């Protein structure tokens, strides 16, 4: 996005230290497939033949990505753009000549993405781009799920909690919210499938939806024990092409007598765990880097749309680390 730099930008460019935000945005500038994304979104973006011309699609997409990367509300993002020269440079905004998109404009753009199911299009376009470059192999799949908390307060307009969220118990703790189920590439840890459910839905019940159909091996933790015997899995894999690498439950292993057999099983389980560790990378990006630890919207559908974009952007972060 070409523009004439202002005095503040020239002064900022003369500083010696490059901030972490600048480094991150520079890496995203390189790895995001801008041309492909703009091509698939352009047919749905208003042409602006009447009234005030709309803000350019690329600038709105960049603004939307900033919101996801930094977990900012609409109004907070608008303020951040005014405060941050790094963000303005990423957006191609010069305050002396360019308007900063306001919170309402971003809200309308997000609603457009949701209504036209374009969040799924963004996710698929990013993955197709990565697959073309050999970063998404699709030979083996890791499956797992994580709980995302939802506000449990009833101090809202409806005087009730979100009816599409649910409570569940994990260990000795109770949680209220939703689950993000993901299928990730065994070799890269990049997410190829996302399913969103209420938190009380079992992990194993969503397994078949997390398979892309070409994998020859599937890895999962002990919560998926017996998955290969389920009716929907046998229908999906009638020839038994998939090698199911499921972790054993800990209790039976602990009860075994010390000896060569127990040592052998522990060694096998350790090897399985080293492969499964890749599935934790997308969850780390989601919750610790993008700070998405709690649902932002009411209802599963809107939150699912956001998760698709977040995991797609997470794949790009993983790609940038591989090429660094």
Q: What is the pLDDT of residue 3?
A: 55
Cα 20–chain centre separation: 21
Contact 129, 33 (CB under 8 A): yes
CA angle centred on 178, ends 293 and 194, rounded to 5°: 90
Tell me, yes or no, whether 77 and 158 share the same domain.
no
Q: Residue 199 has which token pair?
A: 């938190």
Cα 314–chain centre separation: 5
In a domain, 318, yes or no: no
Tell me, yes or no, whether 45 and 157 share the same domain.
no
In a domain, 150, yes or no: yes
Number of neighbours of residue 314 by Cβ within 10 angstroms = 27
Tell me, yes or no, whether 154 and 283 share the same domain.
yes
Provide the whole-model pTM.
0.91
Give the residue among 154, 45, 172, 167 at the shortest CA–CA distance from 110: 45
Q: How far is CA 18 from CA 242, 284, 303, in A?
A: 48, 25, 34
Q: Number of folded domains in the chain?
A: 2
* Per-residue pLDDT of the chain in tens (324 residues, 90 and over written 9): 455 666 556 666 666 678 899 999 999 999 999 999 999 999 999 886 676 678 999 999 999 999 999 999 999 999 999 999 999 999 999 988 888 999 999 999 999 999 999 999 999 999 999 999 988 877 899 999 999 999 987 777 777 889 999 999 988 999 999 999 999 999 899 999 999 999 999 999 999 999 998 889 999 999 999 999 999 999 988 888 899 999 999 888 888 889 999 899 999 999 999 999 999 999 999 999 999 999 999 999 999 999 999 999 999 999 999 876
Alpha helices of the chain — where are they, by DSSP H? Answer: 7-13, 20-31, 34-41, 57-70, 74-83, 85-91, 103-115, 118-132, 231-236, 250-255, 260-276, 280-284, 300-323
Tell me, yes or no, whether 143 and 107 share the same domain.
no
Show the domain range for 276.
138-297
> What CA–CA distance (Å, rounded) separates 57 from 40?
11
Number of neighbours of residue 143 by Cβ within 10 angstroms = 27
Tell me, yes or no, whether 50 and 156 share the same domain.
no
Q: What is the pLDDT of residue 324?
A: 66
In a domain, 122, yes or no: no
In a domain, 165, yes or no: yes
Number of neighbours of residue 2 by Cβ within 10 angstroms = 4
Tell me, yes or no, whether 147 and 274 share the same domain.
yes
User: β-strands 217-220, 191-198: how paired?
Assistant: unpaired
Q: What is the pLDDT of residue 137?
A: 76
In a domain, 2, yes or no: no
In a domain, 127, yes or no: no
Tell me, yes or no, whether 160 and 244 share the same domain.
yes
Tell me, yes or no, whether 230 and 155 share the same domain.
yes
Tell me, yes or no, whether 152 and 233 share the same domain.
yes
> What CA–CA distance (Å, rounded) separates 68 from 124?
17
In a domain, 316, yes or no: no
In a domain, 204, yes or no: yes
Tell me, yes or no, whether 152 and 261 share the same domain.
yes
Give the residue among 235, 241, 190, 243 at the shortest CA–CA distance from 208: 235
Q: What is the pLDDT of residue 213?
A: 86
Give the residue among 45, 27, 47 at the shortest CA–CA distance from 37: 45
């Amino acid at each position: 996005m070409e523009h004439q730099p202002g005095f503040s930008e020239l002064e900022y460019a003369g500083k010696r230290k490059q901030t972490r935000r600048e480094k991150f945005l520079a890496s995203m500038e390189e790895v995001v497939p801008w041309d492909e994304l703009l091509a698939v979104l352009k047919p749905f973006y208003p042409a602006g033949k009447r009234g005030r011309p709309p803000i350019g699609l690329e600038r709105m997409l960049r603004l939307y990505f900033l919101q996801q990367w930094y977990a900012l509300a609409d109004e907070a993002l608008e303020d951040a753009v005014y405060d941050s020269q790094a963000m303005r440079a990423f957006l191609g905004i010069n305050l002396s000549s360019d308007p900063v998109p306001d919170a309402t404009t971003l809200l309308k753009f997000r609603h457009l993405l949701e209504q036209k199911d374009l969040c799924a299009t963004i996710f698929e376009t990013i993955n197709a781009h990565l697959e073309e470059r050999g970063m998404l192999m699709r030979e083996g799949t890791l499956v797992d799920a994580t709980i995302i908390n939802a506000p449990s307060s009833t101090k809202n307009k409806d005087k009730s909690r979100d009816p599409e969220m649910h409570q569940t118990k994990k260990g000795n703790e109770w949680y209220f919210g939703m689950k993000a189920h993901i299928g990730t590439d065994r070799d890269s840890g990049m997410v190829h499938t996302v399913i969103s459910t209420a938190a009380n839905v079992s992990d194993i019940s969503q397994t078949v939806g997390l398979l892309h159909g070409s994998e020859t091996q599937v890895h999962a933790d002990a919560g998926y024990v017996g998955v290969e015997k389920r009716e929907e899995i046998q229908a999906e894999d009638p020839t038994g092409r998939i090698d199911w690498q499921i972790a054993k439950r800990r209790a039976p292993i602990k009860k075994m007598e010390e000896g060569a057999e127990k040592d052998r099983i522990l060694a096998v389980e350790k090897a399985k765990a080293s492969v499964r560790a890749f599935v934790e990378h997308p969850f780390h990006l989601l919750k610790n880097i993008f700070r998405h630890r709690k649902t932002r919207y009411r209802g599963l559908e809107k939150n699912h749309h956001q998760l698709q974009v977040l995991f797609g952007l997470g794949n790009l972060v993983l790609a940038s680390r591989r090429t660094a």
